[in-house]
Chain A
Amino acid sequence: MSNDEQSQSTFTLDGRRIPFTPGQTIMDAALAAGVYIPHLCHKPGYAPHGSCRVCVVRADGRELSACTAPAAADMSVESEVPDIRALRVAVLQMLFAEGNHVCPACEASGNCTLQAVAYHCGMLTPRFPQRFPRRAVDASHPDVILDHNRCILCELCVRASRDHDGKAVFAVSGRGIGSRLIVDAPSGRLGDTDFSAEDAAAHVCPVGAILPRDEAFRTPIGRRRFDVAPVSRVGDVAPDPDAEAPVPDTATEVMV
């Protein structure tokens, strides 16, 4: 180990030493070290949001969202331990029960981060009573479909449109269970905004809520990103997940 590395601050994540720079979050430090912490509303390059709570960890005895909590020297962080995993499964179960997530009928199935994270966490059932909300599908845009049934309100599209595209097409309106994604047009229709399929916001959705048209089954079910390798390996934990095509994962990774 070089002197530089020795002098760098570290914390432990499930017993493993993770280096960090001052101001870096637990999540960013872990991702930089190639260690996966499950997450949905977080994405490298985007402002932390801390809303989905899937990245919950226990840091020095306190449950925190890893994407917003700054790393501290010699902090002890627990992530893949039974009770934290159970918290994550409960958060995921609430997300699945709240919307209409019909994986067998969803063209995002296999490319869906919500689904892949739930696989990683070993969720077998949404368990809670299904809400079956009645939500609209906005098919007014020529290149992109907006399906509110699948929206988990992670606000990645809000951040992408505002911070990367300079458009602010999306926002979240309402409070609590009445919260919903809205678009910047008097008609409330995506087709009446300046949204484009070239926008970053068109490609950032972790579920199947913002779907570019004409791509539905270009890659068949069973050969999609998270069909062939777990999110912990091909999610945004990888430096550039699109740099190389994933190869089928023949190892059977046992959930515990």
Chain B
Amino acid sequence: MNARTESAAGSKVRVATASLAGCFGCHMSLLDIDERILELVELVEFDRTPLTDTKTFGPCDLGLVEGGVANAENVAVLRELRAKCRTLVAVGACAVTGGIPAMRNSVPLAECLDEAFVHGMGLANPGVPDDPELPLLLSQVHPIHEVVRVDYFLPGCPPSADAIWSLLTAVLEERPLHLPLQQLHYD
């Protein structure tokens, strides 16, 4: 499955994945395709993804993005992924709509930080963290199509393994995604 060592033939589809402001549930659902993952590794090879722990993106055929855009690092990763991937997919409710993390949009960011780090209950050393390594939060969480162009949308929280399989099949066959009713869920 190590993409960089197997890419010589060039016949496999290179796939990168990323989890932005998400919970990794969509990645779990991808792994939940069970034995079809054996069929999948015959067709694809992974580039940067939390599954390989590779740190940089190479040119890819397909990028799968879980999670919405909540901070400056999410923006940078998403833009790089868009630049490197021929086809980009918003996977799951957070990438498609902002989802659960976007529920903070109804509260001003300063109030969120204050509640979490300054005046919330049971805080030992109150104060908003300001380590330069921490990416700055955006004032609102956004679905990824508000930041980059997106080619496919796959709703669900998470999308079922069957829905992910339908998506991969559609992408590999370069046709629009049509989900059977049983695979189409927003929750």
Contacts and interface: CB of A to CB of B under 8 A. Distances in A.
B24 to A, nearest CB: 15
A125 B179 contact: no
B contacts with A: majority SS: mixed
A130 B90 contact: no
Q: Taking each of B97, B103, B143, which has the highest tally of chain A beta carbons within 10 Å of its own beta carbon? A: B97
B177 interface: yes
Contact of A125 (B90, B103, B106, B142): B90
A134 B90 contact: no
Interface in A218-233: 221, 230
B186 A256 contact: no
Contact of B178 (A101, A135, A255): A255
Nearest to A131: B105
Interface string A120-143: 101011110110101100000000
A104 to B, nearest CB: 4
A102 B184 contact: no
Interface in A72-127: 96, 100-106, 109-110, 115, 118-120, 122, 124-127
A95 B162 CA distance: 28
Nearest to B150: A125
Nearest to A134: B106
A122 B178 contact: yes
A211 to B, nearest CB: 16
Nearest to B180: A252
Contact of B186 (A115, A149, A255): A115
B112 to A, nearest CB: 13
Interface in B125-183: 140, 142-143, 145-146, 153-155, 157, 177-182
Contacts of A256: 178
B187 A252 contact: no
B99 A122 contact: no
A106 B153 contact: no
A9 B25 CA distance: 55
Contacts of A110: 187
A256 B177 CA distance: 10
B184 A249 contact: no
B25 to A, nearest CB: 10
Interface string B102-128: 110110000000000000000000000
B187 A124 contact: no
B93 interface: yes
A124 B154 contact: yes
Interface residues of B, number: 30
B100 A105 contact: yes
Contact of B99 (A96, A104, A249, A255): A104
Given A130-B142, A254-B180, A104 B186 contact: yes
Contacts of A244: none
A252 to B, nearest CB: 4
B98 interface: yes
A5 interface: no
B96 interface: yes
B184 A103 contact: no
Given A103-B93, A252-B180, A129 B146 contact: yes
Contacts of A96: 97
A255 B180 contact: yes
B187 A106 contact: yes
Nearest to A115: B186
B141 to A, nearest CB: 8
A255 B97 contact: no
Given A103-B157, A104-B99, A254-B180, 15 more contacts: A101-B97, A103-B93, A104-B187, A105-B100, A115-B187, A119-B184, A119-B185, A122-B178, A124-B177, A125-B145, A125-B155, A129-B146, A130-B97, A254-B181, A255-B178
17 contacts: A103-B157, A103-B185, A103-B187, A105-B100, A105-B103, A110-B187, A115-B186, A120-B181, A124-B153, A135-B106, A249-B181, A252-B181, A252-B182, A253-B180, A253-B182, A255-B179, A255-B184
